[in-house]
Amino acid sequence: MADSIDFSIVGVEALVAKLSAVSDDLRRRGGRAALRRAGNVIVEKAKANASRIDDPHTGRSIAANVALRWNGRLFKTTGNLGFRIGVLHGAVLKKHPDLSENAPTPHWRLIEFGTENVRAQPFMRPAAENSASEVINVFATEYEKSLDRAIKRAQKKGVPP
């Protein structure tokens, strides 16, 4: 059911060369921060897309519930860094939903994927697909900055990075 998006990164040879000069710990620390900043690009676009769909007459806002979360399970099982981008509060549709501000918005799935009676109005998938190149650029520049800082700090201390 879940759609997957695959990317191929070309032209980051300088970044790969710096990676070989840095320890695993420093690589992970800088990589996590760079990945978070790159993920925030998708989050901001998803929030902008969701705000166009949100009903202004209710207090519930899908855009307010779009979030970026660390994927600890992926890291523990594979050692790979990863973040999840989604809408908070799950998908349980209650009979008497809370209509206050920042209330759960489980109906986002019905809007994103559609139903047999209502056409889909995706806001998450286009956010990811349309910002792929920007995400890759943000990740590469932020990661390179963090590696430069780590190498500089290690040189000041006189310790190999």
**Would you place residue 110 in the very low, low, confident or very high pLDDT band (cuts 50, 70, 90)?**
confident
Q: What is the pLDDT of residue 45?
A: 96
Instruction: Supply the range of the domain harboring residue 35.
Output: 20-157
pTM exceeds cut of 0.85: no
In a domain, 1, yes or no: no
**Mean pLDDT for the chain?**
82
In a domain, 2, yes or no: no
Domain count, the chain: 1
In a domain, 11, yes or no: no
CA separation for the pair 140, 144 (Å, rounded): 6
In a domain, 137, yes or no: yes
In a domain, 15, yes or no: no
Q: What is the pLDDT of residue 153?
A: 79
In a domain, 57, yes or no: yes
Cα-flanking dihedrals φ and ψ of residue 66, to 5°?
A: -75, 130
154: exposed, middle or buried (C-beta count within 10 Å: 0-12, 13-18, 19+)?
middle
- Mean pLDDT for the stretch of residues 23-51: 88
Q: What is the pLDDT of residue 96?
A: 67
Q: What is the pLDDT of residue 44?
A: 96
In a domain, 13, yes or no: no
Q: Are 127 and 53 in contact (CB under 8 A)?
A: no
In a domain, 80, yes or no: yes
